[in-house]
Structure 1
Amino acid sequence: MTDRTDTPTRGANAPGVMALGVSHATAPLDLLERLSATDRPVDDLVRDVTSIDGIDAAVVVSTCNRLEVYAEARSHADDSDMRELIAKHTGVDLDELDPHLYTHQADDAVRHLFTVASGLDSVVVGEDQILGQVKQGLDRSQQLGQTGKVLTKAVQTALRVGKKARNETGLNEAGRSLATAGLAFFERQVGSLNGKTALVIGAGSMAGVVVAALRRSGLSQVHLANRTPEKAQRLAETAGGQGFALEDVPRLLTEVDVIVGATAATGHVVGLRDVETALADRKGRELFVLDLAMPHNISPDVATVPGVTFVDLKRIAEEGEQDELSISSVQAAHALVDKEVEAFRTGLKLAGAGPVLAAMRSSVTEAADAELDRLSKRLTGIDQAAQQEINRSVRRIVDKFLHRPTVRVRELAATADGARYIDALGVLFAPADTPNPKQTTEQIEAIA
């Protein structure tokens, strides 16, 4: 499939943005865990969505806490096919999934996208990992050739708005990453981690954030376990620890004080029996378990083992406090999003006026050129200097004639009925072999 960046933007069937998804705000964590556990690549979902009639492009944002499809959709596009595709892709029955799905259209879809990118719709308000995940979704669609002008512009603007919200409203200081928030809540449950040792499962971006946060908490050593021990070793060296293979985790449970799950691996890396065996060898020392992964890296059943303190995303969401968040910063971020949505809407309308203005200028310029050509053939005795002065005078007349209509078209394009004005003008200044007189009359009468 080819890149959709040439999709026209003018007219009643001009594409807009549609958003369909499910997140922590609408679905229980166990359902989100099943959605994120699918083995099907996200690429397949992107391709399937763009095969729907009326959908010209798609960007999928897939995280442990949300699965959202942003589509560039024409006016006749329906979200029912998209709902079925999400159910098929995740393997979750549509009847179970459907009550938790939400749909946003046009400005509401753009506002939701901007809100998500800003971290205002996250489990931890202001967390910044979502910004990279939105960018990853756009990069994926661009590599697959499934992007369009409107959707690409919307996502690129969302990335800019997300950065701006964090840097200019104080949200960056008020909000924290999911890992940092989880650790802060964890410390409130178990006390200071200063001087303790930890084992982090994973060596990716989330694990990197966890290691940095653990170091700030004063741990003496942070070890890492990963499918690729060499990768774990490189990250562990930054925290005075060592890298291990996943097979070493059961043995390490007897040695460390804290274990943190932070990998996207499917299936439990640490099971109930692993923890029960380790506790028998720990001689009464408690084991503190923090699972920040989705799906779970560590079986929630370990919470039943005496001597184990277990915290996961569900508990953080239900009990976690964010009293350090500045209410004014959050309000300022929401106000910024509203302002940027309005600017985006106006920008789309002005972009739709571009082809009309070009056609209008072309029509007048062609008429002027034809008249100058006719005049030059009749006035054969005129010298070159006089001919050039006549040409300049005609060009100035054309520019002066077009100046006011150009300004007015841009003003009208930004109004609520802007699309109707642009449609009518587009028909009026279309090439001679394309206009539909009846359509022209109807559109002009509609805005008169």
Structure 2
Amino acid sequence: MLVLGISHATAPLDLLERLSETERPLDDLIRDITAVDGFDAAVVVSTCNRLEIYAEARPDASGDALRELVTRHADLEPGALDSHLYTHQADDAVRHLFAVASGLDSVVVGEDQILGQVKQGLDRSQQLERSGKVLDRAVQTALRVGRRARNETGLNEAGRSLATAGLGFFERQVGSLTGRTALVIGAGSMAGVVVAALRRSGLSRVHLANRTPEKAQRLAATADGDGFGLDDIPRLLTEVDVVVGATAATGRVVPVGTVEAAMAERAGRPLFVLDLAMPHNIAPEAAALPGVTFVDLQRIAEEGEGDEISAASVVAAQEIVAKEVGSFSAGLRLAGATPILTAMRNAAAEATEAELSRLARRLNDIDESTHQEISRSVRRIVDKILHQPTVRVRELAASSDGARYLDALGELFVPGAPGAHRPPDKTKVEAIA
């Protein structure tokens, strides 16, 4: 397995926005990837903070082709992403996937939304019939590992969503939000998370604005608020204390002029802006306006305090990931041993049957019961001889050097095979790094 990705850890916010703003569907990117020679299956995980491709890659796969596809998908000039892309292969790829699903690679460590986003990536590839056995197994295992890391460590209690992290950021700067009112832009799944976080923070009322006011009203009713259309935003900005951008709109929903006009009518009352959207729902230029406290994903990543996630919880989650990677990789190597063991046993069985047939022709005067007893004895001897090598092959295959042993055994019992048990040739993809 090969991973090619770009995330908040390697790229600035404006570049990640370009990846989110592209009009090219992810379905097309997945089809393009699997159309490249050497890439048999692909899963794309796309969030506001990352775009990652997980691919089943043959040894002759071209990493350059994959990099060019991502660059074209973002409508960027050739080479624009080179210094921001990262790659992982084999065990490192599995380790990265498990860490991502566990929330260990998120802006807010331990956040829960990434689990659903990883599952969406797998579901998309399966619907397009562009996934594969290894990827299916890897992602399904990653989802289980992610849940385990949260449930068995303090990560589940300490790790919080981006909405909670942003509100916590406000509270550390301006004090409690209890009794204040808020406006949430959007009415989708992210908006639902935001509303829940706002209610836990003690806000007295939460309004929602959405392209479909009826949808906004249904969600707003759960927080003693009202639903509005997008045209009502300028007026609402003069009334509420907190505004949160949480819609997937590709353009600015609230331009800087709208915020500036609202501040002129607020008579000095501050406005707290939390923009969790990618690209921004609210013009980031509003951060320069007097009385506006503006927090976005970039600021959370750079200045946030990690929500007091304990180091012990992170270490414990990392240990779970490490053990699960070992088990998963050993299982893959063990699966690679199966065709070799089958070939070894088939070769022994063919030799046994050929020798028994030759013996039957030479000793044609023995009765059938004697012949059957001789045949059973010979087969038992062969089985006993093969038992210890079979056990040992499985042990060696599961070890960290398993691929090397399987290569040698493959040459002995499956000469000329394509070598599906062999790991990808690192020289074929190192140009991406």
Q: Same fold (TM over 0.5)?
A: yes
Structure 2 residue aligned with 1:335, among 319, 322, 329?
319
Query: What is the match of residue 87 of structure 1?
Result: 71
| Structure 2 CA distance for aligned equivalents of residues 416 and 118 of structure 1 | 24
AA at the equivalent of 1:191: G
| CA displacement at 1:65 relative to structure 2 | 0.7
Helix, strand or coil for the counterpart of 1:103? strand
| Structure 1 CA distance for aligned equivalents of residues 307 and 416 of structure 2 | 62
| CA displacement at 1:426 relative to structure 2 | 3.5
Query: What is the match of residue 104 of structure 2?
Result: 120
Query: What is the match of residue 404 of structure 1?
Result: 388
Structure 2 residue aligned with 1:75, among 59, 65, 71?
59
Mapping 1:13-162, distance limit 5 Å: 17-162=1-146
AA at the equivalent of 1:142: Q
Helix, strand or coil for the counterpart of 1:260? strand
| Structure 2 CA distance for aligned equivalents of residues 379 and 423 of structure 1 | 46
Q: After the TM superposition, which of the residue ranges 129-138 and 229-238 deviates more from structure 2?
A: 229-238
| Structure 2 CA distance for aligned equivalents of residues 374 and 360 of structure 1 | 21
- Which whole-Å deviations, capped at 9, do the CAs of 1:410-432 have from their partners, x for residues lacking one? 122234543343344345444xx
| Structure 2 CA distance for aligned equivalents of residues 198 and 174 of structure 1 | 25
Query: What is the match of residue 430 of structure 2?
Result: none
Aligned pair in 2 of structure 1 residues 99, 216: CA closer, same or farther (>3 Å)? same
> How large is the Cα RMSD of the aligned pairs?
2.6
| Structure 2 CA distance for aligned equivalents of residues 159 and 151 of structure 1 | 12
Aligned pair in 2 of structure 1 residues 278, 415: CA closer, same or farther (>3 Å)? closer
| CA displacement at 1:278 relative to structure 2 | 2.3
Helix, strand or coil for the counterpart of 2:62? coil
| CA displacement at 1:51 relative to structure 2 | 1.8
| CA displacement at 1:72 relative to structure 2 | 1.2
Mapping 1:295-310, distance limit 5 Å: 295-310=279-294
Mapping 1:265-280, distance limit 5 Å: 265-280=249-264
Query: What is the match of residue 364 of structure 1?
Result: 348
Structure 2 residue aligned with 1:218, among 187, 202, 227?
202
Q: TM-score, normalised by structure 2?
A: 0.88
Helix, strand or coil for the counterpart of 1:150? helix
| Structure 1 CA distance for aligned equivalents of residues 82 and 150 of structure 2 | 33
* Match status 1:246 vs 2:230: yes
Structure 2: 5+ residue stretches without partners:
420-433
| Structure 1 CA distance for aligned equivalents of residues 295 and 411 of structure 2 | 63
| CA displacement at 1:321 relative to structure 2 | 1.2
Aligned pair in 2 of structure 1 residues 323, 212: CA closer, same or farther (>3 Å)? closer
| Structure 2 CA distance for aligned equivalents of residues 393 and 262 of structure 1 | 74
AA at the equivalent of 2:308: E
- Could you tell me whether the CA contact under 8 Å between 1:171 and 1:330 is conserved in 2? yes
Aligned pair in 2 of structure 1 residues 374, 98: CA closer, same or farther (>3 Å)? same
| CA displacement at 1:133 relative to structure 2 | 1.0
| Structure 2 CA distance for aligned equivalents of residues 91 and 294 of structure 1 | 17
Helix, strand or coil for the counterpart of 1:99? coil
Query: What is the match of residue 425 of structure 1?
Result: 409
Q: TM-score, normalised by structure 1?
A: 0.85
| Structure 2 CA distance for aligned equivalents of residues 24 and 424 of structure 1 | 42
* Match status 1:171 vs 2:155: yes
| Structure 2 CA distance for aligned equivalents of residues 186 and 393 of structure 1 | 80
Number of equivalenced pairs: 416
| CA displacement at 1:27 relative to structure 2 | 0.9
Aligned pair in 2 of structure 1 residues 424, 318: CA closer, same or farther (>3 Å)? closer
| CA displacement at 1:393 relative to structure 2 | 5.2
Aligned pair in 2 of structure 1 residues 307, 421: CA closer, same or farther (>3 Å)? closer
| Structure 1 CA distance for aligned equivalents of residues 383 and 193 of structure 2 | 58
Structure 1 residue aligned with 2:176, among 171, 174, 192?
192
- Which whole-Å deviations, capped at 9, do the CAs of 1:164-188 have from their partners, x for residues lacking one? 1111122112211111111110222
Query: What is the match of residue 14 of structure 1?
Result: none
| Structure 1 CA distance for aligned equivalents of residues 23 and 14 of structure 2 | 17
| Structure 2 CA distance for aligned equivalents of residues 323 and 270 of structure 1 | 28
- Which whole-Å deviations, capped at 9, do the CAs of 1:114-142 have from their partners, x for residues lacking one? 21111111111111111111111111111
Query: What is the match of residue 413 of structure 1?
Result: 397
| Structure 1 CA distance for aligned equivalents of residues 196 and 307 of structure 2 | 23
Helix, strand or coil for the counterpart of 1:350? helix
* Match status 1:263 vs 2:221: no
- Could you tell me whether the CA contact under 8 Å between 1:114 and 1:161 is conserved in 2? yes
| CA displacement at 1:76 relative to structure 2 | 2.4
AA at the equivalent of 2:388: R
Q: After the TM superposition, which of the residue ranges 146-155 and 397-406 deviates more from structure 2?
A: 397-406
* Match status 1:350 vs 2:367: no
- Could you tell me whether the CA contact under 8 Å between 2:330 and 2:400 is conserved in 1? no
Q: Kindly indicate whether structure 1 or structure 2 has the higher relative contact order, using CA contacts under 8 Å at least 6 residues apart.
A: 2
AA at the equivalent of 2:65: D
